Structure 1
Amino acid sequence: MRELRVIGLEPDGSHVVCADASTGEKFRLPADDKLRAASRGDIARLGQIEIEMDSQLRPREIQARIRAGASVEQVADEAGIPLAKVERFAYPVLLERSRAAEMAQGGHPVRDNGPAVPTLAEIVTQAFRARGHNIDDAAWDAWRDEDNHWVAQLQWQAGRTTNAAHWRYQPDAHGGTIVALDDTAFDLIDPDFGRPLRGLAPVASDEPEQLELAEFPTEVEVPTIEPEEIIEADVTEEPEDEPASPEEPAAPKIAPHQTNNKDKRGKPALPSWDDVLLGVRSSGR
Structure 2
Amino acid sequence: MRELRVVGLEPDAKHVVLADPTTGDKFRIPVDDTLRAASRGDLARLGQIQIETTSSLRPREIQARIRAGASVEQVAEDAGIPVAKVERFAYPVLLERSRAAEMAKLGHPVRPDGPAVQTLLEVVTQAFRARGHSLGAATWDAWRDEDGHWIAQLQWQAGRSTNAAHWRYQPDAHGGTISALDDVAADLVDPDCGRPLRYLTPVYSARDVDDTIEAEAERRAAVVDDTAEIEASPDAEVPADTVAEPEEDTADDTADDAPRTGAARQTVAAVGRDKRGKPALPSWDDVLLGVRSNGRA
SS at the partner of 1:194? Answer: coil
Q: Deviations over 1:222-246 (max 9, x none)?
A: xxxxxxxxx99xxxxxxxxxxxxxx
2:198 matches 1:193? no
Distance 1:25 1:137, change over 3 A: same
Distance 1:10 1:202, change over 3 A: farther
Q: Deviations over 1:135-178 (max 9, x none)?
A: 11111000000001000000001111110000000001100000
Give unmatched runs, 5+ long, in structure 2.
206-238, 241-297
Tell me the equivalent position of 2:114. Answer: 114
Tell me the equivalent position of 1:141. Answer: 141
2:73 matches 1:73? yes
Distance 1:73 1:194 in 2: 37
SS at the partner of 1:22? Answer: coil
Shift of 1:205: 11
Distance 1:7 1:205 in 2: 91
Q: What is the aligned-residue RMSD (CA, Å)?
A: 2.1
Shift of 1:12: 2.5
Question: What amino acid sits opposite 2:175 in the alignment?
Answer: G
Tell me the equivalent position of 2:292. Answer: none
Give me the TM-score of the superposition, normalised by structure 1.
0.69
Distance 1:193 1:72 in 2: 35
SS at the partner of 1:147? Answer: coil
Tell me the equivalent position of 2:280. Answer: none
Tell me the equivalent position of 1:235. Answer: none
Give runs of aligned pairs for residues 246-285 of structure 1, distance below 5 A: none
Give unmatched runs, 5+ long, in structure 1.
207-230, 233-285
Question: What amino acid sits opposite 1:74 in the alignment?
Answer: Q
Shift of 1:204: 8.4
Give me the TM-score of the superposition, normalised by structure 2.
0.66
Distance 1:172 1:194 in 2: 29
**Corresponding pairs, count:** 207
Give runs of aligned pairs for residues 1-285 of structure 1, distance below 5 A: 1-198=1-198
Distance 1:81 1:21 in 2: 36
Higher helix share: 2
Distance 1:20 1:203 in 2: 85
Over the matched positions of the two proteins, sequence identity in percent amounts to 77
Distance 1:35 1:205 in 2: 77
Q: Deviations over 1:29-82 (max 9, x none)?
A: 111100001111111111111111110111111111111100010011011111
Shift of 1:198: 3.1
Q: Deviations over 1:115-152 (max 9, x none)?
A: 00000000011111111111111110000000010000
**Rg: which structure is higher?**
1
Shift of 1:8: 2.0
Structure 1 residue ranges, 4+ long, deviating more than 4 angstroms after superposition:
201-206
Distance 1:116 1:203 in 2: 36
Q: Deviations over 1:84-106 (max 9, x none)?
A: 11111111111111110000000
Distance 1:91 1:188 in 2: 31
Question: What amino acid sits opposite 2:185 in the alignment?
Answer: A
Question: What amino acid sits opposite 1:80 in the alignment?
Answer: G
Distance 1:111 1:187 in 2: 11
Shift of 1:21: 1.1
